[in-house]
Structure 1
Amino acid sequence: MLSRIGRRPIPIPDGVKVTLTEKEIVVEGPKGRLTKPLHPLVEVVIEDGQVKVSPRQIRKRLRRKAGAFQGLYRALINNMITGVSKGFQRKLDIVGLGYRAELKGQTLVLNVGYSHPVEFSLPEGVSAKVEKGTGEAQAHIVLEGIDKELVGLTAAKIRAIRPPEPYKGKGIRYSDEVILRKAGKAGK
């Protein structure tokens, strides 16, 4: 069984160089360089300015798994090419009275209702900007990087410091996240 997404070839944009070795794929572009080890069930070929991913010809019981890995690796390679050419961005909103964020070098200092400020060290490859908030948000944190997985993981770790609560919506949330509010206690 073939993956529908995995069958699509990935075009290589100008300024991006894709190199294939026996065990890994290396993608270099204007924003940086990414490498990913290849799975033995997947075969990657570069031809006509495109990257094509196909499952290896293997025994019947591994065929379905190889099709799944084909789709996965096609998506991962596409994310690598997009990352080194355009980069990825994730926005977080800080909502709550007195909640603040401040950037000191590669450390994000968050004042989000605890008795002490929380310091979060940004991993290598992820940069952050703190902007003044609009609407109900006190501040916006913009995370940028070339590795989609690392940017998303960093955003999830920051959100986990103070997840949004369902009554007033206070906490750290993704900019596009919708918090379903619950009704509080019934009045007298």
Structure 2
Amino acid sequence: MDGNHTRTGRLAGVPGDYDDEIGAARVPEHLRDWLADVGVGALVAKLGIVFEELSAERSVATMPVAGNTQVVGLLHGGASAALAETLGSFAATLHAGPGRIAVGVDLNATHHRAASEGMVRGVCTAIQLGRNVTSHEIVISDSAGRRVCTARITNLLRDTPAPQTRPETEGA
């Protein structure tokens, strides 16, 4: 365990219990300890993203169309982009390994068709898994298996930053 973690595995100074959030997203059991410190992220929970598979080479998740639509009732392109970035960033972070993080530096998405109901499913496949850069392609399909969106994300891999501490002030 690195110096940023307490004996229980929680990040020092990070409040909260993310068991419910991790469970609702159906994070695979073998990855729950990895996310116990930080959860899956507020946006993942708000969008209703549910993971089916998570690895550096391939990650899969679903997301409901309902609740993630734009004003005319179609799946919002930003929701598709968020699903794609979530899958690609999680996959890149798994590839990076302990003590490292993935930082998205490029995301592009082409929207092929509208989705207005049901679920969409994103399948993220590694294009390149390098020491410092990863690229993944994400194909998002509707409930009928028709391609809704194709995205590509590039992530930069970096060492986890040291926690910021406040300097002591005299007389405090």
TM-score if structure 2 supplies the norm length?
A: 0.27
Higher strand share: 1
**Rg larger for:** 1
